[in-house]
Structure 1
Amino acid sequence: MPWSVRFRWSAALAAVALLMADLPAWASSLAAWRVSRSGQLELRTSIDVRPQAFFEAGTGFRGPRVWVDLPGAPSRTRTVRGSGALREVRIGRPDSFTTRLVLEFAPGTQLDPSGLRLVGTSRDRWRMELPGLGNQAGLGLGEGDLDAVASFGADQQTFFPTAATPLSADGLPVVPRGRFKVVIDPGHGGPDPGAVGIGGLRETDVVLDVCLQIARLLQARGVQVLMTRTSEVDVDLPPRVALANSSGADLFVSVHANALSMARPDVNGIETFFFEGAGSPSRRLAAALQEQMVAISPGSPDRGVRTGRFFVIRRTVMPSALVEMGFVTGELDSRRLADANFRRRMALALSAGILNALQGQQ
C-alpha cells in the first residue's frame, strides 16, 4: 500500500484507513501534533504506527471535519480552541484502544477530499496538506515536541544499530525552503527482502535505513519528502509510481543495493540508472547521485551512469533515477553497507546529490 493515501468520499462521509500496529490499550501512540500556519497537519507518533484518517463534509451549520485515529488511548481528553477557519482541535478517546485527533473547521470552509493525503515521511512522522488553508486565522496550534528524535528500542529498531556519529544536515547544499518535493523509494520490503548477501545482509534493511536518514536530512533543508514505504511492508511497483505521479514531486529516487552470485565476492561497485535521453533532467539527477556516492566509497568501482528500463523510473513523470549503492554479495561493499556509519555517510551523499539536482531546477 502506498504511504500517500487519497481520501475516498461520498457527499456526507469520506474515510481511508491504513493498518494499525498492535499497541497496549493504555499507551497512546500520538506524541506530538501541529496544524502549521502554512496549512499542514503534522504528527509525531510511536515508531511504525499506522494511523487511520477520515474526512466528513460539512452540512448546514456544521463545517467539515478531518480526524485521525491512532492506536492507544490518551491519558486525558481535551479541546484546543482555534479561530477563523479552524474552529477547534479535539483529542478524544472513542474507545479504550484509540486516540482520536479531530480538526473541526468553521461552516463554509472548503476542503477538497481529493487533495487530502496522509503521508508517512519517516517511521514516526506524518503529514497532511490542507489545501487552501495556508496563513488563515486559527492555524498555528499544536502540542508536544515535533522535532524530538525517536528512540529505537531493541524491539523497534531496524536490522542495524544506529550510527555513532549523529545525523546532521550541516554542510549540505541549500535550496529554498518549502519549494521542492521529493519522493524517496526504498526498494523491496516486507516478504520481499531483495538481495541477500554476505553474512545474511539484506537489501531491504540497508535501503530502508539509508532512506529514512535521507528523509530527515532533506526535511532539515526544507524539502517535503514522501516515502513509498517507511517500514517493512510489501509495496508493489505500480503503487510506488502512482504515489509519485499523483504527488506533484520534483524528483523521484529509488534506492537499492546490488547482488551477484555469492561465489563472486570480487564483484563490487556503484551505479545509477535513468530512463530518459542523454541530456535529460533524469540523466543529470543520476549523474549528481553517482558522483556523491562514488566520492564516499573509495576503492569501490565506479560502474557509471547508464540507461535502464526499471518500472519505477520508466513510468514516473518527473526526473527519476535508481541507485545501486553497492553489492551485498561483494567483499568490499557488503562490509561497508553493513556498517551504520557508512550508511549515514551514504545518506548524506545521496541527500547532497538530490539537493544539487534541485539547485539545478531553480
Structure 2
Amino acid sequence: MHRRTLLTALAASGLTPAALRAQAFPSGPLRLVVPYPAGGGIDAVARYLAQGLGEELKQVVNVENKGGAGGTLGADAAAKAPADGHTLLLAGNPELTIAPALFGKLPYAPLADFTPLVLVAQSPSVLVSAPLSASGARTLREALAAAGKRGGIPIGTPGNGSPQHLAVELLRAGTGLDIVHVPYKGAAPATLAALSGETAFALVGAPPTRPHLASGKLQAWAVTQARRSPLLPEVPTLREALGSASTQPGSDEDLVAWYGLLAPARTPADVAQRLERAALAVLARSEARARLAALGTDDLALPAKAFAERMKAETQRSAELIKRFGIKPD
C-alpha cells in the first residue's frame, strides 16, 4: 500500500525516481580525496574547489589528503568508495593516465573504475635554465647547442614517468641531441638544480619557477603544450621555440600536469551530472581564473565527455611512449 501511494505521488509530481534522487542529493557531507599530502599545488586547487562545491551543493565538502605511492593509494581508496556521489577524487594524469603503463599492474583501473566529471585545470610545464646571455644564445636551438658543447645536455624533471619526463624523451628523440634525463624527487629540487647549474635545464611545472623567472635568476625557453599558457603568455610553445616549420615529436602536444574531478564508477548518472554542473558553476565564477592562476594553473573547465576522451587518448599515448623509451618507475 505504501509503495502504491508513493508511486501515485511520484506520477502526480511528474518526477522520475532519478530526478527525485538528484534532488535529494547530497544527503550529507561530501569528501574530496586528494592523493597527495597537504600543502602542494593539487591540494590548493582541491581546497578552492571544495569550498565552491560546498556552496553550490549546500553541503560541507571535506578535503581528505591520502598520499603515498605516487598518488595511487589515494586514487585506489576513492575508486573503492561507495558510488553514491558523496566521495570524489581530485587527481592528476600521473596516477590516472601514466601509472597504468608505468607500474604494469595497479589495484584500480582508471578508465573502468572512475566516472570523469570535470577536467579542472592544468599546470604548464616550462623548460628553464640559468640565464645564458654569456653564451649568446637567443633561441632554444642555440641554447641547446651551447649546453651541448660541454658534452651531454642534462635536463632535470620531477621524476621518472612524469609528464615532463615524457616530454624530455620526445625532445631528445626529435632533435637527435645528446639530452640526458635527470630525475629528481619533485619539481622543487629539479628547479634548484637548474638554478645552481647542476643541470643545464629543468622541465617542471610553472609554480616553482615563477619567482625565479620574475627575478631573472631563471630564463624560460618553452612550454610543452600546443598553445601558449595564459599563465606565461610571453613564453613560446615548444613548436614555436624549435621553429614554426618544426615537426618534432611532441612539439604540438600537451605534455603537462592536469587536475581532474572524478567519482567512483557506477555513480548514478543523474548524481554525476549534478556534480558536473556544480563544478562547472564554480569554475565559471568571475574570480575563478585569477584564483587558479595564483595557484600556478590555467583553468580548463572541460566537461565530463571531453575529460573522458582526453583520459582515454592520454592513456594510450602514455603507454606507447613508456614502451618506446623503456621508462621505468623510480
TM-score, normalised via structure 1 length: 0.24
Larger radius of gyration: 2
Q: Which has the higher helix share?
A: 2
Q: Which has the higher contact order (CA 8 A, sep 6+)?
A: 2
TM-score, normalised via structure 2 length: 0.26
